[in-house]
Structure 1
Amino acid sequence: MHQKDIITAGKKLTEAKKVLIMIHGRGGTAENILSLAEHLAVDDYALLAPQATDNTWYPYSFIAPLQQNEPSLSSALSVLSDTVNELITQGFTEKQLYFLGFSQGACLTLEFVTRNAARYGGVVAFTGGLIGDKIYQEHYSGDFKGTPVFIGTSNPDMHVPVERVYATSNILRDMNADVTEKVYPNMGHTITQDEIDNANTLIFNK
């Protein structure tokens, strides 16, 4: 089970008008994902990065049967839920909240926001899709009300089938998210400058 361990950077919450929650990938760290902010147009954001226990949000592939990734997955989603609820309690609206994740962190990001759809400031998923051996439509409810979402991925990718990315984008669009999806041929499991540029243009510079 995950302990709530949030690393912060950027503006102080008392001074920021926007908050970016950054979710690291398998084997990564909060500090590592925070370092990505140097390349993002987020100078006026408060940055929050939860740290997964043992550096992993859930033990198996994101397309493994859901039960295999429990209770870690539910615990990881609870960390995000608690973080968002605390920000709301401090006076932030959903529209002031932004989310970004890479790989396992992108999957967790997409799973959380789609289970809790609202008009967020924006969502960036660098190589990820909704979690499960299949799409569990009953888990997803709410209305994104035009929330801008950028999803970038490679085809092929060693961890994330492009078919799941397409299916994820379609579900988000059905829930009224403004999704931009870019599939890069043979990009590899990484984050490219073009993805950074798209995130800045579509999400952070709004």
Structure 2
Amino acid sequence: MDHNFITKGDINNSNKAVIFVHGRGATAQDIISLAAYFPVATYYLIAPQAPNNTWYPYSFMAKIEDNEPYLSHSLSTLDKTVKELENNGINTENIYFIGFSQGACLTLDYNARNAKKYGGIIAFTGGLIGEQLDPKNYTGDFNSTPIYIGSSNPDQHVPVSRVHESSSLLTNMGALVKEEIFDYMGHTITKEEIDSAKSFIFK
């Protein structure tokens, strides 16, 4: 891995991994600090860093083409990260994702475009990307992958309607989705949310 990633652990002595995906204006170092709240001490941890701290320039609800070529580059970054883990012997069913805000949106969209059996996916405040969701953009079968999506009602960046729409689409693709909407939580991650995600994903 190059300097655009933060890593913790030994990839050669881990059979499970977590990919952390930071939000707009944040850093890989910020998001990987969440590891302290999850039972991942023996996992290989990796967090890619977005150029200029942003995965794509506009809202995740903008037209896909408005966020190009940045969105495609960012999706490719996640794909390369997954393939690097696979090349080091970590199968996708042992790969987990934790993303927040813009990073949660990117995570969900990458997973839906490449659906298969993953260890688990946590999206703190996010939804699938695009002005309108087109199921034709998404392929594969999650094969009962657990996906946790938590968000606030209201949230200034992520409409609850898009969270519901995303949960439904992911469920139709074979995921086991746990969606939680917290009233007036704000655009943040709370302990209640972390505890709920942890118990659902890391059983």
TM-score, with structure 2 as normaliser: 0.97
Mapped contact 2:60–2:130 kept (Cα < 8 A): yes
RMSD between aligned alpha carbons?
Answer: 1.1
Please list the CA deviations of residues 93-144 of structure 1 after superposition, one character each: whole Å capped at 9, or x if unmatched: 1101001100000000000000000000000000000000010211101000
Which residue of structure 2 lines up, in the alignment, with residue 68 of structure 1? 66
Mapped contact 2:104–2:125 kept (Cα < 8 A): yes
State the percentage of identical aligned residues.
52
Residues 14, 121 of structure 1: alpha-carbon distance in 2 compared, 3 angstrom cutoff: same
| In 2: Cα distance, 1:4 partner to 1:120 partner | 26
Which residue of structure 1 lines up, in the alignment, with residue 4 of structure 2? 5
Please list the CA deviations of residues 39-79 of structure 1 after superposition, one character each: whole Å capped at 9, or x if unmatched: 12211111100000000000000001111100000000000
Which residue of structure 1 lines up, in the alignment, with residue 88 of structure 2? 90
Which residue of structure 2 lines up, in the alignment, with residue 45 of structure 1? 43
| In 1: Cα distance, 2:5 partner to 2:137 partner | 26
Of the three residues 137, 156, 179, the one matched with 1:139 is: 137
Q: Does 172-181 or 89-98 show the bigger shift?
A: 89-98
The number of equivalent residue pairs is 202
Gaps of 5+ in 1: none
Aligned-pair distance for 1:4?
Answer: 7.4
Mapped contact 1:128–1:153 kept (Cα < 8 A): yes
Q: Does 152-161 or 81-90 show the bigger shift?
A: 81-90
Of the three residues 112, 118, 121, the one matched with 2:119 is: 121
SS of structure 1 residue aligned to 2:17: strand
